[in-house]
Amino acid sequence: MIHSAGKIIVAALAVMAGAAWLLSASAFAASVQASVDRNAAALGESIQLQVSATGVQQGDVDVAPIRDFKVISRGESRSLHVVNGRQTQEITFNYTLIPVKAGNLRIPPLEVRTPEGTYSTLKIDVVVSEKQQGESDEQDIFVLAEVSNDAPYEGEQLVYTFHFYRSFRISDARLQKPAFSGFTAEQIGKEQSDITVIKGRRFHRNTLSFILIPLSTGLKTIEPAVLEYDVIQRDHRGGSSPFDFDSLFGGPFFNTGRVETRTLQTRPIDVAVRPLPDYHGPHPFSGLVGKMDIRAALEKHALKAGESATLTIVVEGSGNIPDAEAPVVDLPDGFKVYEDAPREDIALDGNGYSGKKTFRMALVPLEPGDYRLAPARLTYFDTASETYETRETAPFSLTVLKREAEEEMRVVPAPVAGNGPAKQKVAFTGRDILPIKDDLSALENQRPLPLPAFLGLLGVPAILFVLAGGIFLFTRKSDDPADIMARRARISLKSAGAAGIEDDAFLSCLYRALVSAILSRAGVQGESLTWTEAEAILGPADVPVEVRQAASALLERIESARFGGKPLDARERNRLLSETRDVVRRIS
């Protein structure tokens, strides 16, 4: 009886141990969870989203289903928990969400893909009120965006201006500029900072401007510009001026207290791009839009056939002058034309592009004569009068003289005797032909060439040909876009590390190196990317998630530093260069 009871106790202990093991295993199974810092916000305010994955080594969150918010990745963090002697790793993915509309919004379930499997979070509801930050001058801090013309013609330049107003001091402003889809965009100068008064209140204002040229007609929407900044909740030990006159977009200043991160965004701007009127003029349309003029000069008006005269044509004005091409010049038959590369002298300021483009061509007449060259013409669209205008130069006259006659060879025949044919004696007209040797001493025996020397003589050209081919193959640059962009990334990194390089050039080289490395993985060529586009490109390229996030965060930091214009110290330069080199290496 006792023996049977002992068996029952042992069995019960085994069952309890198995249950404890199952509970322990389930306690450490992988799980995911999403949370926000608040469930109510106003338009323009940000919400912090965290997605935590416990019990996994690595993972990736799919945030594409989020439609009601603009999503900004803030990287990830890792932590290690020890429970009952067992270690459990947790990965936390951090995001800033900016609502795009008011109402009862939802963060849908998000998939978290891990090596252990795919998991899903629960939905989160957020209430967003109509209150719009960034549009009222009654606030202490706000942002504004405006364009100089919301109904431009195709090809007409307009200015986009971003303003940031604040009545108190902040730290570490980070600007995510719009993508400017449908436009070419170029920043005008550096950030401007000043003090302004609005309804009797003093504000510190920072301004960034971009020149935009629409690429096609139709309604274009310029997305909101997003500004994220830190506010330091200061203690009351001492004070300071509410205004700092340093550059805003460049990094934190020295201060103490609790740091609170906030976000502002501008309203989207609609731009209705109008098509140019139909053109029916007699001369070809140059494609230039703005205010243009043309002038020309001919180097000389008299020359000999076969000589050249340089024709210089200058196109100048304001507008899309960088797109100017060489005007067509109607020349008579019998002229050859050799064109030089155009020279640009174009500036970018608050009014847009202005300057001139110089085209030079060498005219070579082949036949003598008096020629009259037609004037050079330029037809452009004048945005002020909204009509097509044609400007032309004065016509040119050109006198082409005959070349000096070459010396002719004269042959003098001997007199002919009688009526029949007679032998003629050759008359020498000069001594430029060597005399003929007619004695036996002119003949000289040549020694036969040995066979090895003959074979070696034949082999030298073959060896040289093989060497030349090898050198060509070794030094030939690949036309593959991936190789081109990878080579550009290496060159840009080398340029960034050059001694004495200015901050603007340094940051531009880092930006070009990182963008080129990312595009190299995609096998395409390009010049610019946003951080969101970078993540989208690197995802299908099977780049590890931590590398994608590091590249995205670094690209955003470099852009913020470029737009800020604040001087970089040696430590920050070295850190940015080192991180860029590491990320480019990991991407490649």
| 3-state helix/strand/coil string of 22-36 | HHHHHHCCCEEEEEE
- Is the pLDDT higher at 522 or at 136? 522
pLDDT of residue 378: 94
Instruction: Answer whether 364's CB lies under 8 Å from 396's CB.
Output: no
Q: 254-257 long-range contacts, Cβ below 8 Å, gap at least 24?
A: 255/169, 255/171, 256/232, 257/232, 257/233
The predicted pLDDT at position 334 comes to 84
Contact 294, 376 (CB under 8 A): yes
Asked if residue 409 has pLDDT above 60, the reply is no
pLDDT at 539 over 90: no
Which residues share a beta bridge with 105? 126
- Tokens representing 468 are 């030349």
Average pLDDT over residues 228-233: 74
* Neighbouring C-alpha atoms within 13 Å toward the C-beta of 343: 7
CATH topology of domain 141-273: Immunoglobulin-like (2.60.40)
The average pLDDT across 332-351 equals: 88
The runs of H, that is alpha helices, within 280-431 are none
Does the pLDDT value for residue 468 go beyond 60? Answer: yes
Contact status, residue 176 vs residue 96, Cβ threshold 8 Å: no
Highest average pLDDT, of 75-79, 313-317, 371-375, 563-567, comes from 313-317
Span of 48-57, 405-414, 437-446 with lowest mean pLDDT = 405-414
**Contact between 94 and 74 (Cβ < 8 Å):** yes
Nearest Cα residue to 161 out of 191, 136, 181: 191
The reported pLDDT for the residue numbered 386 is 93
DSSP tally for the chain: helices H, then strands E: 7, 30
How many C-beta atoms surround the C-beta of residue 4 within 10 A? 8
Integer Cα distance of 513 and 486 in angstroms: 8
Is residue 557 over pLDDT 70?
Answer: yes
Query: Looking at the domain that runs over 481-587, which CATH code has it been given?
Result: 1.20.120.330
**What top-level class would CATH report for the domain 285-401?**
mainly beta
pLDDT of residue 543: 81
pLDDT (tens digit, 9 = 90+) per residue, 5-43? 555 554 555 545 454 444 444 445 678 899 988 888 887
CA distance 59 to 52: 10
Mean pLDDT of 247-256: 47
Can you give the pLDDT at residue 443? 45
Separation between Cα atoms, residue 184 and residue 214, nearest integer Å: 7
Which pLDDT score, from 0 to 100, does residue 174 have?
85
Query: What is the per-residue pLDDT for 259?
Result: 65
Determine phi and psi for 570, rounding to 5 degrees. -60, -40
Of residues 408 and 450, more confidence is placed in: 450
Q: Give the position of tokens 């593959």.
A: 480
What does DSSP say about strands 201-214 and 69-83: parallel, antiparallel, or unpaired?
unpaired
Q: Is 376 a residue whose pLDDT tops 70? A: yes
DSSP element (H, E) containing 506 = helix 503-522
User: Given this model, what pLDDT does residue 272 score?
Assistant: 96
For residues 195 and 546, the model is more confident at: 195
Rounded CA-CA distance 260/504 in Å is 30
CA distance 316 to 473: 45
Q: Are 290 and 346 in contact (CB under 8 A)?
A: no
Structural tokens at position 220: 């274009």
Cα distance between residue 144 and residue 165, in whole Å: 8
168 vs 453: CA distance, rounded Å: 91
Residue 408 has pLDDT above 60, yes or no: no
The rounded percent of the chain whose pLDDT value lies above 90 is 29
Question: Rounded to 5 degrees, what are φ and ψ at 386?
Answer: 55, 40
CB 221, CB 133: distance < 8 Å:
no
- The answer to whether 343 touches 309, Cβ cutoff 8 Å, is no
Q: Please check the confidence at residue 123 and state whether its pLDDT lies above 60.
A: yes
pLDDT at 78 over 50: yes
Counting Cβ atoms within 10 Å, is residue 125 exposed (0-12), middle (13-18) or buried (19+)? Answer: exposed
pLDDT attached to residue 480? 81
pLDDT at 84: 65
pLDDT of residue 135: 46
Angstrom distance (rounded) from CA 271 to CA 278: 21
Domain definitions of the chain by residue range: 28-130, 141-273, 285-401, 481-587
Identify the residue with better confidence: 586 or 232.
586
In a 10 Å sphere around its CB, with 0-12 CB exposed, 13-18 middle and 19+ buried, how is residue 92 labelled? middle
Residue 360: predicted pLDDT: 92
- Helix %, strand %, coil % of the chain (to 5): 25, 40, 40
The pLDDT value recorded for residue 428 is 44
Structure tokens given for 241:
């001026």
Give the mean model confidence (pLDDT) for residues 338-360: 90
Say which range, 63-72, 352-361, 530-539, has the weakest mean pLDDT: 530-539
Determine the average pLDDT of the residues in 87-104.
86
Q: Backbone phi, then psi, for 392, in 5-degree steps?
A: -145, 155
Q: Which of 44-48, 192-196, 548-552 has the highest mean pLDDT?
A: 192-196
Is the pTM higher than 0.75? no
The C-alpha atoms of residue 30 and residue 540 are separated, in whole angstroms, by 25
Mean pLDDT of 541-560: 81
Count how many residues are written for the chain.
588
pLDDT tops 60 at residue 522: yes
Query: Nearest Cα to 74, choosing from 531, 516, 514?
Result: 531
Measured over all CA atoms, what is the biggest interatomic distance in the chain, rounded to whole angstroms? 165
Describe the crossing of helices 503-522 and 531-538 by its angle, rounded to 10 degrees: 30
pLDDT digits (tens, 9 = 90+) for 129-166: 876 544 444 578 899 999 999 999 999 999 999 999 98
Residue 383 pLDDT level (bands cut at 50, 70, 90): very high
Can you spell out the DSSP letters for 253-315? -S--SEEEEEEEEPPPEEEEEBPPPP---SS-EEEEEEEEEEEEEES-SEEETT--EEEEEEE
Please report the pLDDT score of residue 531 as a whole number.
Answer: 67
Judge whether residue 542 has pLDDT over 70. Answer: yes
Quote the pLDDT of residue 253: 42
Kindly tell me if the per-residue pLDDT of 48 is higher than 90.
no
SS3 of 54, please?
Answer: strand
Provide the 10 A C-beta neighbour count for residue 492: 22
> DSSP strand E in 2-116: where?
31-36, 40-43, 47-54, 60-62, 69-83, 86-99, 103-107, 111-114
Topology match between the domains 141-273 and 285-401: yes
- DSSP states of 421-485 as a string? ----------S-SPPPP-SGGG----PPPPHHHHHHHHHHHHHHHHHHHHHHHHHPPP--HHHHH
First-to-last alpha carbon distance for the chain, in angstroms, is 75
Task: Select 28-130's CATH number: 1.10.3720.10, 3.30.379.10, 2.60.40.10, 3.60.20.10.
Answer: 2.60.40.10
As a whole number, the mean pLDDT across the chain is: 79
Give mean pLDDT, residues 509-523. Answer: 87
Q: How far apart are CA 504 and CA 506, in angstroms?
A: 5
